[in-house]
Amino acid sequence: MSTGPIIPNEVMECQQDNTEDKLLNMRRDSTSWYEFLLQPGLLLQHISNPSSVPGSHQLIIQFLQQANMLETSLNAAEAKQNAKETQSITPEAKEESDLRVSGLLLPNTKKDDVSEKKYFKKKIYALKLLALKIAAHGNWNLEALMKNIPGPLVLQLLQLLMTVTSDNVEENDESLIEILTQNKHSDHYFFSLLLYQRWCLQTVLKDCLPKKPSKVNSIPVPGLTEPIVSMVGISEEKLAQIKKLFGKCKSALTECLNVNRTACIPTYDCFDFGSSALGDLELNWQKGDICGIEVWGQQIAFDLGAVYFYETDYYKALDMFKIAHTHSIKAPCTGVEVETLSGYIKACNSLVHQEKHVGNIINVFNDALKKSDSQALVEVLEKNLVTCSLPRTAADHVSLLLHKIKEENVNLKGANVTKLDCLCCILHVKRGDAYCLLQLSESSEKNQQYSYLVEKLSVAIGNCSQAEKSNLISFLDYLLNTEPLMIKIMLTASEKVKSLLSSISSDNSVKNTGLFTSPTTQSLLEPQSYDVSDTIIALTYNPDKIWHFLCTLHSPAELKTVADFWKLPKELDKLFTNELKMDLNSVCAYILIAKAKELILTKEYSQAVILLEAAEKTVRNAVKIQKIIRWELLYCNLLSSKSGDGKSTSADTTQKVKSCLYSLKVDSELYPHDNLVMECVSYLLLSKDWEYLSSLHDTRVAYTEYARQMINVCKELPAVQYAKAPGKVLWESSIVIFSLQNVGKRVRLGNQAMLPKDAYKKFILTINEPLVLSVLISLLTKIYSLKTTDTDIDKTNQFSSVWPESMSMPLLNSIDKDYICELMIQLVQHALSINSMQSSWLKTYAEIQFAVGNLRDAMKYYLQSANVASNNFMQPVPSYVFDKEVYTRMVKCCVQLKQYTQAAVLSQLFEEPDYMATFKYLQEKESHDGMDIYYDYLWDINIMEYLIHLHDKRGELDKKQQLITIISNPEINTNNPEPILQTCRSQKTAKFFRLLCKQYGYEAKSFSFSI
C-alpha cells in the first residue's frame, strides 16, 4: 500500500537535519553581498581566497541580481510617483513615503547630501561595477563565466562592459567589420566588443550541440546560487537574434585577424571606488593591460576554428587552428588549452588528408546529395561523364534521391529532375543494370528528356571502357525498338544518333551485351515504315501546323486514316458522323477536340482553350458541334478558375453556366456531359446564385435536384426549426443514395432522379461553398453516428438537430458503414483543403480519426482546432471546442499512445479531476513521453505531491527536486486569490498545448539554425 504523498516542507526538513552542522559552519564563514558595498577593500581580499564563500562567480550573480531588483523597484516607484503627479495628489512627503515603502530608501540616507533617486542609481551602478571588478580579476575567462553563470547574466555582464568602455559610441550591426578593422575606437572598447562577439560564437555553438541535463542539488546551500537559476539559458528570442547575425559575426572576426592592433584588457584597478563603493565612481583605463594580436587573436582564431570544425569545413578550421597555434607560441597563457588545440589540429589534418585523396568531384557530389540540390547534382554528373571519377555506388545514391522525390509527390516537370533521371540511367546502364526512365505524362517533356539522353549518351560512349560502351549501345538499341512511335521518329531523325550509330557499326570491338533485347545496330539505320502523318500530328499542339499538314492530304482515304488515329466519346463521335462529312474542316476539328481533351486531363487548360477555339472556327456551319465546343471551353474555364489560373467568378462565366444548365431543361437531344454539369452546379453554389438553381426543378438531372435540396436547407439556417422540413427531404434522398447496392446504378424516387454512389462522391467533392460543405459534413456525421451508435461523434455535429434522430432498421442495415466513413473523411479533407482554419471542420475530422482508431491524428486535429479557435492559444479555448467530452477523449488518446504524463497534465483541466486514474497513469513505467519536461505545466498540488512521493520512492532525486522547486513557486499557492490562480492555470495550459502541437506535428514555422 502507498503511504501517500510527502509534503515538500517535511522532505526538506528531513534532508536538512543530516547536514545541519555543515550549513551552520558555512553560514559563519560566508560574507553577505552588501558588505562589499560598505567596504570595497574587502572584495579583493575575499576573491583572492579560493575557499571563500560565496565564490567569485556566485558573487557576480548576486551583485547583478541585486542590481536588477533595485532597478526594477526604482522604476516601479518612479512610475507610481509619476502617476500620482498626473493626478495632482503627490505632495513632497508622499515621495519619501513611496520610496520607503518600495524598500529603496535606507534609514540613514540624508536627502541633503544627495537625492534618493541619484543615490540609488549610484548604488545600482556600483553593484554592476563590482561584478565587473570580479570578472576583471578573473582575467575575463569567458569559458569559466559561461560555465558558472546563467546565460542572461553573462549577456548582461558583457553588455555592461561594452557600455562602460564605449566612449558614448553606439554599436551598429551593419558596420561591425568597420568597427573591428579600423582604429576609430579605443583599445578597451575594442576588447569588450571582441569578448562579446566570442560569446556570441560560443553560445550558438553550444546551442547546436546535444545537451545533457544538469543534476540539481537536493539541498539549497546558503551563499551558493540556486541550482535551478544556474540552468537558466538566454531567451529564445535573444538566441534567434544572435543566430540571425551569426554570419556577420563570423565574417567580422575573420577580417579582424588581418588587423594588427592592440587591445586594452580592463583590470581590477580600472574600476576605482575610493574609500566607499557609494562614493565617487571613477574608471581609469590607464591601469588596463595592453596586449597584442598574439593574445586576443589566439582566442578569436580558436573560437572560429571550433565553429568551422562543427560546420565540417575542415580546411578553414585547420587554417584557424594553425593561426591560434602560432600565436600560442608567443603568448602561451591566454586561456586556450594546448592539449585541446593540438587535438583539433590532428583531427583536421586527418580529415583534410582524406578529402584530398577522395577528390574534389566526390566532395561536390556528396554536398549536393546531402542538400538534395538537383542542379548541383546535374552539373557534377555531367562532368563525371568525361572524367569517370565517381564510384559505382553513385548511381544508387541518385536513385534513392529520385525515389524520395517520387514518394513526396514533388512535381516531376522540373528540368533538373528530368536531367537527373537521364544521368542516373546512364550510370546504371554503364555498370550493367537495367533501368527505366521516369514516366512523364507530357509528350513535349518526354521529347526533351530523350533528346537530352541521346546528347549525354554520345558524351558517355566516347569516354568509357569497352564493356561500358557495349552496355550503352545495347540500351540505345532497346530504346529505338521499344519506345512509342513518336519517340522512334525523333531519335532516328537526330543527327547525333545517326552519326553515333554509324561510328559504332564500323567499330568491331563493340558488341551487344544482351542486357537489352534488340536487333543489330545496322538494322536501325535502314528505312522504317513509320506512319509519318500520325507522328507529326502527335508531336505538335499548334493548331496552325495541324491545319497546314492536313491541307497536304488531298485523298479522303488519307484524311480518314488520320482521323481514325484519334478517338472521341461515342456520343461526340456519332455527332460528327451524322452532322458532318469527313472533309478537311471536320477532320481538323475532330483532331483538335481530341487533343484538347488530352490537355484537359493533364490540366493544361490554357493550351486546350487555344485548340478548342481553333476547332470552333473550322465548323461554323455545324450548330450542335459548336455548342459542344463552347461547353468544353466553359469546362476549361471552370477548371482553370478552380485551380487558381483564372478569375474565380465573372458575369460572362455566370451567364454561360446558366445557359448550359438551362439546356438540360429545354433540349431533349443534346446534353452537356456529367463533369460539366457538376462544375456548373458547384460554380453557382459558390457564387451564391441559389435562386437560379432553385428554379431548375424539372431538369431530370440528379445533380441539380440534389443541389436544390441542399440550397433549401442552407436558406433556412441558422434557424434550425425552419430547416428541419427541407432537411428531412435532403435526408431521405441521401439515404436512398447510400442504400444502393450497385455503386453505378441510377434510380428514381418518384419523379426525382437519384445519383449513384460513385457519381455522388465525385459531385460533393467538387463543391467549394463553405455552408453547403458544413451541411453535408453534418449530414454524414449524423448518419455515421446512427450506423455505429457512436453518440460522441454526433455531440460535435454543428447542425445535428436538423436531421431525424432515428432510422428504420432495414434502411440502417442497407447502408455501408465503411462507405460512409470513407466518404466523410474525403469530404472533410476536401473542405480543409479549401479552408484549413475552420475550427468546426478540424474538430469533426479529429472526432472521425478518434472513431476509426487513428489516435495520433485525432490528437493533432483536436489541438489544431483549438489553436485556430484561440488564436494560437493567446486566448482561452472556447468551451464549444474543448469541453469535458473532448478532454476525456484526449486523455484516452494519450493513455493509448502511452503518453502518461500528458494524460496527467490534461486531467487537471477537469472541474473534478479523477485523482485515482491520474495516479495510476503516473505509476506506469513504460511512458513514451518526456515525463519531467511536462512538470512545468502542472499546477495541481495533489498531483505534484504524489509525484514527489513517487520519485522519492524510486530514488529519482533530481526529478523530485525539480518538483519541489515548482511547487514552491508563489504563483501556484492555493491561498492566492482566484484571479491569480486562474491566470497561472491559463498560462501553463497555453504553453502545454503549444508544446503538444509541436509534438503531434502541427506548429507554425519558426526560426531554426544548425551548424
Q: How far apart are CA 295 and CA 330, in angstroms?
A: 8
Contact 997, 863 (CB under 8 A): yes
pLDDT for 444 equals 52
Contact 296, 319 (CB under 8 A): no
Contacts of 259 (CB under 8 A, 6+ apart): 180, 181, 293
Contacts of 17 (CB under 8 A, 6+ apart): none
How many Å from the N-terminal Cα to the C-terminal Cα in the chain?
Answer: 52
| Structure-model confidence comparison of residues 219 and 1002, the more confident one | 1002
pLDDT for 142 equals 84
Least confident piece of the model among 106-115, 150-159, 177-186, 819-828: 106-115
pLDDT for 893 equals 92
pLDDT at 270 over 70: yes
| Rounded-to-5 percentages of helix, strand, coil across the chain | 70, 0, 30
Contact 103, 69 (CB under 8 A): no
Q: What is the mean pLDDT of residues 763-791?
A: 86
| Structure-model confidence comparison of residues 503 and 241, the more confident one | 241
Q: Which three cell numbers stand for residue 349?
A: 589534418
Phi, psi of 289 (to 5 degrees): -90, 125
Confidence of residue 890 (pLDDT cuts 50, 70, 90): very high
Q: How far apart are CA 869 and CA 93, in angstroms?
A: 52
Q: Among all chains, which residue has been given the C-alpha cell 424516387?
A: 749
Q: Which three cell numbers stand for residue 991?
A: 504553453
Q: How far apart are CA 53 and CA 647, in angstroms?
A: 76
- The strand pairing partners of 282, in sequence order, are 272
| Structure-model confidence comparison of residues 428 and 564, the more confident one | 428
Which stretches of 785-846 are assigned E, i.e. beta strand? none
Contact 257, 301 (CB under 8 A): yes
| Structure-model confidence comparison of residues 23 and 307, the more confident one | 307
pLDDT digit string, tens, across residues 624-672: 888 888 888 888 888 888 776 555 567 888 888 888 888 877 766 777 8
pLDDT digit string, tens, across residues 438-468: 554 444 566 677 778 877 877 887 777 777 8
Specify the 3-state DSSP secondary structure of 612. helix
Least confident piece of the model among 163-172, 481-490, 651-660: 481-490
Q: How far apart are CA 946 and CA 927, in angstroms?
A: 17
pLDDT at 249 over 80: yes
- Percentage above 70 pLDDT, the chain: 72
493 closest CA partner among 450, 461, 550: 450
Q: What is the mean pLDDT of residues 331-340?
A: 72
Greatest C-alpha distance within the chain: 120
Q: What is the mean pLDDT of residues 95-99?
A: 49
Identify the helix (H) or strand (E) that includes residue 766.
Answer: none
737 closest CA partner among 755, 763, 753: 755
Radius of gyration of the chain (CA): 40
pLDDT at 875 over 60: yes
Q: How far apart are CA 892 and CA 80, in angstroms?
A: 50
pLDDT for 737 equals 85
pLDDT for 649 equals 62
pLDDT for 519 equals 36
Of the ranges 105-119, 416-430, 847-861, the best mean pLDDT one: 847-861
Specify the 3-state DSSP secondary structure of 386. helix
Which stretches of 658-817 are assigned E, i.e. beta strand? 747-749, 752-754
Which stretches of 741-877 are assigned E, i.e. beta strand? 747-749, 752-754
| Structure-model confidence comparison of residues 710 and 32, the more confident one | 710
462 closest CA partner among 516, 385, 524: 385
Contacts of 376 (CB under 8 A, 6+ apart): 364, 367, 368
Q: How far apart are CA 733 and CA 748, in angstroms?
A: 10
pLDDT for 80 equals 79
Q: How far apart are CA 744 and CA 524, in angstroms?
A: 49
Q: How far apart are CA 254 and CA 201, in angstroms?
A: 12
Specify the 3-state DSSP secondary structure of 334. coil
Q: How far apart are CA 565 and CA 486, in angstroms?
A: 13
Q: What is the mean pLDDT of residues 147-161?
A: 86
One-letter amino acid of 421: D
The DSSP call for residue 837 is T
Least confident piece of the model among 334-338, 690-694, 777-781: 334-338
Least confident piece of the model among 354-363, 795-804, 862-871, 914-923: 354-363
pLDDT for 488 equals 56
Confidence of residue 412 (pLDDT cuts 50, 70, 90): very low
pLDDT digit string, tens, across residues 413-446: 456 777 888 888 888 888 777 665 555 444 456 6
Length, in residues, of the chain: 1011
Angle at 71 between CA 70 and CA 73, to 5 degrees: 65
pLDDT at 578 over 70: no
pLDDT at 831 over 50: yes
Q: What is the mean pLDDT of residues 609-638?
A: 85
pLDDT for 510 equals 47
HSE, side-chain direction, 13 A CA sphere, residue 666: 6
825 closest CA partner among 765, 755, 895, 913: 765
SS (H, E, C) 619-662: CCCCHHHHHHHHHHHHHHHHHHHHHCCCCCCCHHHHHHHHHHHH
Q: Which three cell numbers stand for residue 457?
A: 549518351
The DSSP call for residue 282 is E
Regarding pTM above 0.85, the answer is no
One-letter amino acid of 534: D
pLDDT at 325 over 60: yes
pLDDT at 106 over 50: no
Angle at 835 between CA 829 and CA 841, to 5 degrees: 55
Specify the 3-state DSSP secondary structure of 272. strand
Phi, psi of 422 (to 5 degrees): -65, -45
Q: How far apart are CA 314 and CA 333, in angstroms?
A: 26
Least confident piece of the model among 541-555, 600-614, 694-708, 921-935: 541-555
pLDDT at 358 over 50: no
Q: Which three cell numbers stand for residue 671?
A: 446534353
Of the ranges 371-375, 417-421, 974-978, the best mean pLDDT one: 974-978
Q: How far apart are CA 404 and CA 52, in angstroms?
A: 62
Q: How far apart are CA 275 and CA 277, in angstroms?
A: 7
Mean model confidence pLDDT for the chain: 74
776 closest CA partner among 842, 823, 737, 811: 823
pLDDT for 489 equals 54
Least confident piece of the model among 65-74, 350-359, 765-774, 825-834: 350-359
pLDDT at 312 over 60: yes
Kind of pairing between the strands at 752-754 and 747-749: antiparallel
Least confident piece of the model among 33-47, 488-502, 542-556: 488-502
Distance between alpha carbon 795 and the CA centroid of its chain, in Å?
33
Contacts of 613 (CB under 8 A, 6+ apart): 633
One-letter amino acid of 188: H
Q: Which three cell numbers stand for residue 828?
A: 472533410
Q: How far apart are CA 265 and CA 165, in angstroms?
A: 11
Contact 13, 966 (CB under 8 A): no
pLDDT at 765 over 70: yes
Angle at 253 between CA 251 and CA 259, to 5 degrees: 115
Of the ranges 280-284, 395-399, 755-759, the best mean pLDDT one: 755-759
pLDDT for 892 equals 92
Q: Which three cell numbers stand for residue 993?
A: 498545448
Kind of pairing between the strands at 747-749 and 289-291: unpaired
Identify the helix (H) or strand (E) that includes residue 686.
Answer: helix 674-686
Q: How far apart are CA 230 and CA 214, in angstroms?
A: 10
Helices 374-387 and 394-407, axial angle in degrees (round to 10): 150
Contacts of 664 (CB under 8 A, 6+ apart): 671, 672, 677, 696, 699, 700, 701, 704
Q: Which three cell numbers stand for residue 319?
A: 587554417
Distance between alpha carbon 856 and the CA centroid of its chain, in Å?
18
Q: How far apart are CA 67 and CA 127, in angstroms?
A: 6
Q: How far apart are CA 61 and CA 66, in angstroms?
A: 9
Count of C-beta atoms within a 10 Å radius of residue 29: 10
HSE, side-chain direction, 13 A CA sphere, residue 165: 29
Q: Among all chains, which residue has been given the C-alpha cell 497555453?
A: 990
Confidence of residue 904 (pLDDT cuts 50, 70, 90): very high
